[in-house]
Amino acid sequence: MAQAAIELIGINKSFGTVQANRDINLVIERGTIRGIVGENGAGKSTLMSILYGFYQADSGDIKVDGKPVSIKTPNDAIALGIGMVHQHFMLVQNFTVIENVILGAESEALLNKSIAKARSELERLEREYGLEVDPDAVIEELPVGLQQRVEILKALYRGAEILILDEPTGVLTPAEADHLFRILEQLKQQGKTIVLITHKLREIMAITDTVSVMRQGTIVATRETAKTTVEELAELMVGRRVLLQVDKGEPRPAEVKLSVKDLTVKDSRGVTMVDNVSFDVRAGEIVGIAGVAGNGQSELIEAISGIRRAVSGNVMLDGKPIDVTGVCDPGELRERGLAHVPEDRHHVGLVLAFEENENSILGYHDQPKYLKGPFLDIDAIRNDAREKIEKFDIRPGDCRLRTANFSGGNQQKIVLAREMEQNPEVLVVGQPTRGVDVGAIEFIHKQLIAMRDRGKAVLLISVELDEIRSLSDRILVMFDGRIVGERGPEATEGELGLLMAGVEQQEAAE
């Protein structure tokens, strides 16, 4: 049996009345890839944050390479050879790659000497682990897949032998995720120990050696990956049998609710991201837009929802025009029955410093049900938030908790509950299950199907092809800012993948 790289013994951690970790015992062998799965709020990230020194356990012990250790800060963890790549990257956006890598680990008094020394070490790491990235590139100009490589390089540069990755594919395309897996396999072959926190069971089956399942703050099972199944892991995570396939009837499309004609949108650099796009979404159907991230989907839904001004084109909402090339007010669109779940919940969907109940009414706070005369009715707002928490199973169930203290998946459910409970005529939803666990995915999918069945029009954008194929009644594929094909839900992943790669429609059909 391989030597233990990490031993966690009797770990307990509470935040007020919420016990995030309860009597955790975990042994991870050196040179292996261990998956840790569980529902949002199960305590996965808290446990790894204790190992990395962000939090201190209320009780329990940690051993690294068989020796008892005290980890009070991330610097302590780094000194012990532990590195962590967070779900939301910890990079300075206007710094270069090499500046980010050496930040906090400068080896010389003069910065230019530190950079020169680091450059050769980075070249070695990139070559050895397949982590090629331009060391002089500015972070904000890199796609998220390359930004993640920078985070891994940062950890390796500091001598990490144990690497923790928290939801590493949450913002990656399928191709980027596959490349990440090749990198992790290479790291494993070099003797590194990998801990992979994820809610995506397909990834667990593809890359891990063993997997531990957490539920309500405890580890309920550990399995050899080769001897378990997606179905068993899902049931262990949720505590019940989970429906992994979307159960839906035939659509009953009616009148056009959202009509987009010849829409062209540029990004902040002046680059055309949406190029003369046209489509309709009818009441009683879900139209999915598939595509590799960065092909115009984000700019498309931002223009439709009033966040970004279009260059040209026409958009009709329930038969009436939206001023997409002029001053289009998102608040007015909400009043007209268009709700928007943004792709980026942190920067667009939530104010993380606000309490959960405050976020649960953002954009709808001027509705009479939330007012008492000219003032906000705090009791009504909090009661409304508690109802949403119960219906959407948001954890912890405390509407007074700061939104920053919820897990990413539960933050997502706060946004979805806010928008879907307004009963809009048109729902524009971007990446609805990004960072969400399998049980919550099942729930969110059911809610979207229920909206469709109530005669609502749903425009769905997702980089998850399985999600697009499962939910959509019609699938539009975007490549390089254009709609390059339309398919039904019976389209294969390979067929859609060819369209996403820019293969002509007739070629993809062959």
Question: Which runs of consecutive H residues, i.e. helices, occur in 226-296?
Answer: 230-238
- 18, 22, 27, 28: CA torsion to nearest 10: -20
Residue identified by tokens 């531990």 is 212
CA distance 296 to 305: 14
Structure letter (DSSP) for residue 94: T
- Closest CA relative to residue 361, chosen from 343, 387, 336: 387
pLDDT the model gives residue 509? 45
State the angle between helix axes of 408-420 and 438-453 in degrees (0 to 180), rounded to the nearest 10.
10
Neighbouring CB atoms inside 10 A of 218's CB total: 16
pLDDT digits (tens, 9 = 90+) for 234-289: 889 888 776 666 788 999 999 999 999 999 999 887 999 999 999 999 999 999 99
Answer yes or no: are the C-beta atoms of 322 and 303 closer than 8 Å.
no
Structure-token pair, residue 256: 């056009």
Answer yes or no: are the C-beta atoms of 197 and 167 closer than 8 Å.
yes
Detail the DSSP E strand segments found in 122-189: 162-166
CA distance 150 to 162: 17
Structure-token pair, residue 443: 């729930």
Neighbouring CB atoms inside 10 A of 92's CB total: 12
- 497, 498, 499, 500: CA torsion to nearest 10: 50
pLDDT the model gives residue 474? 97
Question: Which residues on neighbouring strands pair with residue 317, listed in sequence order?
Answer: 258, 320
pLDDT digits (tens, 9 = 90+) for 484-502: 999 999 998 888 888 887 8
Structure letter (DSSP) for residue 2: P
Q: Which domains does the chain have, with CATH numbers?
A: 4-238 (3.40.50.300), 245-337+424-510 (3.40.50.300), 347-422 (no CATH)
Please identify every stretch of the chain with a pLDDT value under 70, giving residue numbers as ranges: 1-2, 106-113, 170-174, 242-245, 435, 504-510
Using alpha carbons only, what angle is made at residue 481 by residues 475 and 487, rounded to the nearest 5 degrees? 15
- For residue 342, say if its preceding peptide bond is cis, omega within 30 degrees of 0: no
Q: pTM for the whole thing?
A: 0.70
Is residue 101 exposed (0-12), middle (13-18) or buried (19+ Cβ within 10 Å)? Answer: buried
